[in-house]
Amino acid sequence: MNFKRAALSFAATAFLATSAYAAHHGELAVMGKDQDVSGGTVTASKIMAGDNGWLVVHRTDEANKPGPVIGYAPLKKGANTDVTAILTQPVKTGEKLMLMLHGEKGGNKTGIFEYTLGAKEDGPVKVDGKLVMTVITAQ
């Protein structure tokens, strides 16, 4: 009887731990840090995506308003680590880049990045009206 109780207790603990882990890590997020982009790439250290989508690199400034897209990389649903996007334009030391989560919705083709600034195709993901992004400085 004690063995059954111990087994049930262990199973319940494992279930609760797994549920807490999923809830805690299931939030959408983009994480990155200031980095050297002289090699023509930029990397987000971790991205939590609710669906398949895109890491999109926008130019930005002190006002943190998204500017032109200068790079992107595909994402899978869930946790993505060390996601690297190739930059399509040179970036100087000190310039700010916005690493943003975009969806894979509204476009004409799955797996083809179709967003242009202000469009709805493969557009930005928002939570409570706020963009899921982070801003880094090129080193």
| Residue 20 belongs to a domain | no
DSSP 73-119: EEE-SEEEEEEEEE-SS---TT-EEEEEEEES-SSSSTTS----TT-
Residue 3: inside a domain = no
Number of domains in the chain: 1
Quick: pLDDT tens for 49-65: 999 999 999 999 999 99
> Is residue 1 situated within a structural domain?
no
Q: What is the pTM of this model?
A: 0.80
pLDDT at position 117 is 84
